């Protein structure tokens, strides 16, 4: 099992491979491999999604996947 933190300025749902996986800024668990991450339908963030290979992580050293607020 691998560990990631989907980072955003505020807490909101984080999606992994189109499924609600937890809350941003918390450590989330995911199977090793390549996954698509996004923050759902409210598209006030960038990038729109990220496809990332997740391997070699630990709960103390999760992979950080960063999203930022999109300028209006």
pTM: 0.94
b/e per residue, 40-66, with b = 16+ CB within 10 A? Answer: eeeeebeeeeeebebeebeeeebbebe
- What pLDDT was estimated at residue 66? 98
pLDDT digits (tens, 9 = 90+) for 12-28: 999 999 999 999 999 99
pLDDT digits (tens, 9 = 90+) for 5-64: 999 999 999 999 999 999 999 999 999 999 999 999 988 999 999 999 999 999 999 999
CB 67 within 8 Å of CB 39 = yes
Which residues span the domain enclosing 16?
A: 2-69
Residues above pLDDT 90, as percent of the chain: 94
CATH number of the domain that residue 24 is part of = 2.60.40
Domain count across the chain: 1
């Amino acid at each position: 099992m691998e560990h990631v933190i989907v980072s955003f300025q505020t807490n909101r749902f984080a999606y992994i491979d189109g499924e609600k996986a937890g809350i941003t800024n918390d450590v989330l668990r995911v199977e090793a491999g390549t996954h698509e991450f996004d923050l759902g339908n409210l598209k006030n963030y960038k990038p729109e999604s990220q496809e990332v290979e997740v391997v070699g992580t630990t709960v103390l050293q999760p992979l950080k996947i960063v999203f930022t607020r999109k300028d209006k």
